[in-house]
Amino acid sequence: MTEKRRLGSAGPRVFPVGLGCMPMSLEGRPDEAASARVILAALEAGVELLDTADAYCIDEGEMGHNERLVARALREWPERERVVVATKGGLRRPGGGYAHDGRPEYLAAACERSLRALGVERIDLYYLHAPDERVPFADSLGALARLREQGKIRLAGVSNVDAAQLTSALDTLPIACVQNRASPFHPQGLEDGVLALCEREELAFVAHSPVGGWQAGRIAHEPLLQELASALGATCHQVAIAWLLARSRSLIPIPGASRIRSAEGSAAAAGLRLPPEAVSRIDRHYGEPAS
């Protein structure tokens, strides 16, 4: 049986691989009914953490698209209480681009919109999407603290932060999770001090883009991963996810998917056990782990 991983010292335990829902709301996305089937297939495969954000959409005119999609799928799922939905605020989509907005008043309004989009009274896990260099970090964190005190969010998290910013966040409010990038193509995400701090403080490190993000098409052509995947009867994507799981008990990868096969394959990676020598080979090939 796959052992679950905790979302922070006081958070729930969840299946060790989550689902990144972002691809279902970008250009080239499937229709909403097909996307709902992808989410439901992931849940059927054991996934219990769904990752979304208000800014997962094509432009400012459809903010909340991905959240509404998640809510639609969950209306068809009979075990809603076992699913943790994580969303984020603090990013806008003007003209289809991306702009940070960490102002407390913006975060308060964004949270209200996310509550409506998700159709809930309290958000399971709410992240600051990224620090806004124009706004004091403490001010953005204070907004999350107030949302938590008001009962609008259960758990608070920060995303796309460095170790110093995470330390500052921990001084301001209880943080359950950090969501940062980490993959074989971005091993520095495991070596910059954030993962070590998560381990020490009993936080979850939720790894976004675990198979490369915009480089995901490359991963199936990596000779080392191909060799290991062939030996283990797996795919290169599954080997990459299993490598992250083997690196730390704090890690929870959230590979994205817009097809049922991808969602099911990612979930199956939770049961793949990489031999220690395979983990070491990937470490050496893509960058030595921190000592």
Using only C-alpha atoms, the chain has a radius of gyration, in whole angstroms, of: 18
When pLDDT is cut at 50, 70 and 90, the band that residue 30 belongs to is: very high
Q: Which residue has the tokens 């979850």?
A: 204
- Whether the per-residue pLDDT at 83 is higher than 50: the answer is yes
Interstrand relation of 99-100 and 91-92 (parallel, antiparallel or unpaired): antiparallel
Q: Is the pLDDT of residue 236 over 60?
A: yes
Q: What is the DSSP letter of 183?
A: B
Mean of all residue pLDDT scores within the chain? 96
Residue numbers annotated as active site: 56
What are the domain boundaries of the chain? 15-214+251-271
Q: Are 225 and 239 in contact (CB under 8 A)?
A: yes
pLDDT digits (tens, 9 = 90+) for 115-143: 999 999 999 999 999 999 999 999 999 99
Residue appearing with tokens 């094509």: 58
Q: State residue 212's pLDDT score.
A: 84
Helices (H) and strands (E) in the chain, counts: 11, 12
pLDDT of residue 291: 39
- 15-214+251-271 CATH: 3.20.20.100
pLDDT > 80? residue 1: no
Put simply, whether the predicted model's pTM sits higher than 0.95 gets the answer: yes
Which pLDDT band, with edges at 50, 70 and 90, does 289 fall under? very low
Cβ-count burial 136-171 (b if 16+ within 10 Å, e if not): ebeebbebbbbbbeeebbbbbbbbbbeeebbebbee
Phi, psi of 243 (to 5 degrees): -60, -45
